[in-house]
Amino acid sequence: MGDERVKTEALKVINLFQVLPKLVVFDLDYTIWPFYCECRSKREMPSLYPHVKGILYALKDKGIDIAVASRSPTPDIAKTFLDKLGIHSMFVTQEIFSSWTHKTEHFQRIHRSTRIPYTDMLFFDDEDRNIKAINNMGATSILVENGVNQQAFQQGLMEFSQKSKASDKAGSSGKNKHK
């Protein structure tokens, strides 16, 4: 499936939901690409999972910000790869640093720089410990097994929407509503 076709499909999925996240955060290794950065050389040409670029473009087209949260011990390689793939500038913030905090520190920094509440964030990662930790912070978190794809993306938007509706019933408001 080409990037444009994936983008078109992702836009259709986005349009199914009235309540959307204000920020979608992606892990890197085994979430948007099929490798660990620290096992690669900056000289290599990296590749993304097949649906990732189309999904990123669909989010940007809908005005939904995107960010990176990665515990990579080689942020220089990760940033070089984002640049080589032509997606570096798509992210409003990139928190790429080694950590033992299950990405909680990454999300605290993302929140500080974007001012977006955790409850308005959707997060994709391949590690269950990160999913649990970030869920506990209030973000909707989706575990991916073979990278982000259309199915995981739709599941994420569905879970975000359901969580938002539940919190709206409990009296919160101010979600990112799109027509």
Give catalytic residue positions: 27, 29
Beta-bridge partner residues of 69: 95
Residue 14 · residue 122 · CB < 8 Å:
no
Tell me what percent of the chain is helix, strand and coil, each rounded to the nearest 5: 45, 15, 40
Residue 122 · residue 139 · CB < 8 Å:
yes
Closest-CA residue to 124 (of 49, 28, 58): 28
- Cα distances (Å, whole numbers) of residue 142 to 16, 78, 101, 174: 19, 22, 18, 22
